[in-house]
Amino acid sequence: MKTYQGKSILKGTAIGKILYYSKEEQMVQRKSIEDPKAELERYEAAKAQAGEQLNALYEKALKEVGEQGAAIFEVHGMMLEDDDFNDSIKNMIEAQKVNAEYAVATTGDNFSMMFSQMEDEYFKARSADIKDIAERVVGILQGRHAAGDLGDEPVILAAKDLAPSETVQMDKSKLLGFVTELGSANSHTAILARTMNIPALIGIPVDADLDGKMAVIDGVKGELIVDPDEETLAYYQNKKEEEQKQRELLQQLKGKEDVTLDGKKIRLYANIGSVGDVARVLANDAGGIGLFRSEFLYLEKDTFPTEEEQFQAYRTVAETMAGKKVIIRTLDIGADKQADYFHLAHEENPAMGYRAIRICLDQPEIFKTQLRALLRASAFGNIGIMFPMIISVKEVQQAKQYVAEIKAELDEKGIPYGDVELGVMIETPAAVIISEQLAKEVDFFSIGTNDLTQYTLAIDRQNAKLDNIYDSHHPAVLEMIRMTVENGHKGGCWVGICGELGADITLTETFLKMGVDELSVTPGSVLPIREIIRNTSVK
């Protein structure tokens, strides 16, 4: 038995086998082989496994984002069976007597380059598809686990680090918890762990030797216990059962109103990152969705999601929530949320760089595609649109102008849309200072406490070395929140909190007494927060 000390992202207990995941690109070496027939059989087996993975991804996407969103995996499956692609690989193995990994990688590069140089935009877009398919097959041949492939049994995932795009592709039903060596408690990957309500640790030394070993995550102590003895395992199994009983007690709060002892009604909503997260929202009885991080629709793909793909995702969420409020944040790409096809240049300080609303206003066609999808989907539910990373009134006015233009286009075509509330994220000190002016432009504010803390304290939330002084309870941060609530109400809009601080039960009463109208939290935090609301008097 060996115990590793790390830092906890979410309190709770996880028990299961470790799956070691390495995302490091492994160099594909050219090797001479003696038996081309055996190598061809290796390739065929890997190709068949890749086909099974793509079919599974198609079925998963079909349930979560609809037929349009799932189509990419169907296309990949067809390209995997392409005769020219396969003939090139097989010929290389037989004629040159080289290993299958080299043949697949070389063919993938050749075909990808060929497609990228074509004039037809459709075929150009297939360049990235070919590369993705080749990498999938090479990964299988090398015995590497794909980010979304967790196997048949639920596991504790161990990795050096995880990007948000990798985390979002994982089958949440197979993820008991995860541990990483790198990363920060305030990263978007950590936020996703809290959204999924799974125990997670950072700062744990991770290597391939952990793969397949039984382990326990103690989210309270921040410990990973590998190869626990029988006594330790029995202790944590009992602890896990106690945690389950506590969750069952909270279930009694389902259906109860989110009202304080003195009668103030609070909007208690949930944060999500994908269509699949809606099940957790409903299971935890949230009053609505206060933050749908739409950028994860982009991070899941290797090219820009179409208007139709986005529309289907937004419509599905709106319909499933059956008239409850669904606030969708427009694209917040950049900083630690990177998608290769955006071709964002390297920046020394990306958190304060080219990201979020800045990209949208600078590249209006991307923005307008999303706005059209959002407005079309609003005809099927109660949708609100929220703009992130605002620092000026001018930005809000420009965004509203685009919304007005899209509405005019839809009116001209006779396409219906709903009565959409518009809001902004308050996550910069600049937005706090001018919040009374901003309030006159919008229907609501949502305070993003993660970035607001980062910018107020001048601390990079991704820098694990500064976790010890990153203080979301800092008096300056709490004063920023108080000012925002006061100025928002003066300007005539309602004010919520959608950052991680909203789920901090030590501050719930403080926020209620400040006059906060809405708290949007991870789905698993809804019922614990409801319990506090119902036992608090704001007077």
Kindly list the catalytic residues: 188, 498
Q: And the tokens for 270?
A: 């949930």
CB distance 432 to 407 below 8 Å: no
What is the three-state SS of 415-477? CCCCCCEEEEEECCHHHHHCHHHHHCCCCEEEECHHHHHHHHHCCCCCCHHHCCCCCCCCHHH
The string of DSSP codes covering 121-165 is HHHHHHHHHHHHHHHHHHHHHTTPPPTT---SS-EEEEES---HH
**120 CB-contact burial (10 Å; exposed 0-12 / middle 13-18 / buried 19+):** exposed
Query: How many Cα neighbours within 13 Å face the side chain of 162?
Result: 32
Nearest to 62 by CA among 317, 247, 275: 275
Q: What is the 3-state secondary structure (H, E, C) of 207-253?
A: CHHHCCCEEEEECCCCEEEECCCHHHHHHHHHHHHHHHHHHHHHHHH
Say if residues 473 and 507 touch (Cβ distance below 8 Å). yes
Kindly give, in sequence order, each residue whose CB lies less than 8 Å from that of residue 143, ignoring residues fewer than 6 positions away. none
Residue with tokens 């269509």: 275
User: What is the maximal distance between C-alpha atoms in the chain?
Assistant: 82
Cβ atoms of 526 and 270 closer than 8 Å: yes
Can you tell me the distance from the alpha carbon of 519 to that of 524, in angstroms, rounded to the nearest whole number? 13
Instruction: Determine contact, residues 187/165, Cβ cutoff 8 Å.
Output: no
Distance from C-alpha of 46 to C-alpha of 34, rounded to nearest angstrom: 19
